[in-house]
Amino acid sequence: MVLMGSELRPAVRELDAATTQDLLTHRRHLHAHPELSFKEDETARYISERLDAMGVDKLTRGAGGTGVVAEIRGDRPGRSVMVRADMDGLPITETADVPFRSTRAGVMHACGHDVHMAIALELARWLAGRRHELPGMVRFAFQPAEEQAGGAKAMIDAGVLDGIDRVVGLHVWSPLPTGQVAVPHGLVMASADMFTLTIRGKGGHGAQPHLTIDAVVIAAEVVTALQTLVSRETSPVAPVVITLGSVHGGTAANIVAGEVVIQGTLRTFDAELRRHLLTRIVEVAEGIAAAMRGSSEFRHDSGTPPVINDAAIAKLVSEAAGSVVGKEMVVPLEPLMVAEDFAYFLDARPGCFFMLGGAPEGPPVVHHTPEFRIDEQCLPIGFQVMSAAVLRLLQPD
Ligand SMILES: [Zn+2]
Ligand SMILES: [Zn+2]
């Protein structure tokens, strides 16, 4: 299949044992040395040293915190495409028995960001050796703190999207069999808002409730009422989740609590519904608290928009992926209720976020768990799909 007018072909035709070995070496090193969000100092050093050795055209360290940005400029005219790879691990202790197991207790690459970095690094090397045939410019954004959803915004504030026409990113996905790639043409993932409600009453003796304002009783009403925003105020065909995952208050059985702190998350696919429900969460909590003589204070801790692909760009990426893995291996994907801060890049530029199959052998594994593993066969596939996608997106059309 001919992907482009250029004589430059996707890496699939040139992938050799050395490239595959490089991918594994990067991935295993990064896997063994995971770091938490915004603390990716050694990771950034590993990446920037290698990019420097490749002779990239521009290398910026410390972008948006610990981020690393590198540019490779082709000798031919074309578009400017940004490839994003996230860098952070999670506060989890790995249980898998592999030689490259995390060397850091309590920190683990349990989402697969080590895979993303390895693919991006190797793609940078591959492109750096082909500037004479390369149309346009590719900027690599190694982004900190995806898991805390703060890194993408920090990098945008640092100017990572300046002069960029299109953005592309991938996520290795353990439920998807190796060899399959999912390129949604619209909705990929939900928005995610994290919030804290502080319910205040007046503490006192457990045997004299009439002299107190019981924050636990108010909180109980608030917790129940907030679920009605989903069941009674939202269309039954609109997917919404409100989860109140943490409720803390009180000190002893015979003391009325003066304060309860509720932490929750809101997930939806619709920007308007998201805004409406955030407002209603505040109104319902404040209204109930006031009716019961207390008060409620709302704090918005973080918010990520839904991940929505540009349909035209997704079509180009689908075709590129199909040229590598075969058309029938580019599969549909139901929108996921998880979130990704790649959403910020897609909010600002047309682009595509796709899922790379990486299901390991044996029992299924879930991202963000101590047992998380991936099938390393997905590395050369991901490299080839990403290189084909980038080459297609660089074309001026
Ligand atoms: Zn994750
Ligand atoms: Zn992730």
Closest alpha carbon to 268 in 244, 238, 311: 238
Burial class of 79 by CB neighbour count within 10 A (0 to 12, 13 to 18, 19+): middle
Closest alpha carbon to 4 in 392, 393, 396, 394: 392
Closest alpha carbon to 166 in 320, 357, 19, 12: 320
What string of pLDDT tens digits covers the 397 residues of the chain?
333 434 454 444 547 889 999 999 999 999 999 999 999 999 999 999 999 999 999 999 999 999 999 999 999 999 999 999 999 999 999 998 889 999 999 999 999 999 999 999 999 999 999 999 999 999 999 999 999 878 999 999 999 999 999 999 999 999 999 999 999 999 999 999 999 999 999 999 999 999 999 999 999 999 999 999 999 999 999 999 999 999 999 999 999 999 999 999 999 999 899 999 999 999 999 999 999 999 999 999 989 999 999 999 999 999 999 999 999 999 999 999 999 999 999 999 999 999 999 999 999 999 999 999 999 999 999 999 999 999 999 998 7
Active-site residue, 122 included: no
Closest alpha carbon to 145 in 186, 211, 91, 183: 91
E strand map for the chain: 58-63, 67-73, 76-86, 135-143, 166-173, 181-182, 187-189, 191-200, 204-205, 240-249, 255-256, 259-268, 295-304, 307-308, 330-331, 351-357
Nearest listed ligand to the Cα of residue 112? 2
Catalytic residue among 22, 114, 122, 146, which?
146
Tell me the C-alpha distance between 167 and 337, whole Å: 22
Nearest listed ligand to the Cα of residue 366? 1
Q: How far is the CA of 114 from the centre of ligand 2 (A)?
A: 10
Q: How far is the CA of 87 from the centre of ligand 1 (A)?
A: 11
Catalytic residue among 88, 94, 193, 341, which?
88
Nearest listed ligand to the Cα of residue 87? 2
Residue 333 has which token pair? 């994907």
Q: How far is the CA of 207 from the centre of ligand 1 (A)?
A: 47
Nearest listed ligand to the Cα of residue 369? 1
Closest alpha carbon to 391 in 56, 2, 1, 3: 3
Closest alpha carbon to 105 in 117, 118, 95: 95
Q: How far is the CA of 368 from the centre of ligand 1 (A)?
A: 6
Q: How far is the CA of 171 from the centre of ligand 1 (A)?
A: 9
Q: How far is the CA of 89 from the centre of ligand 1 (A)?
A: 8
295-304: strand order across its sheet: 240-249, 259-268, 191-200, 295-304
Active-site residue, 221 included: no
Q: How far is the CA of 297 from the centre of ligand 1 (A)?
A: 29
Q: How far is the CA of 231 from the centre of ligand 1 (A)?
A: 28
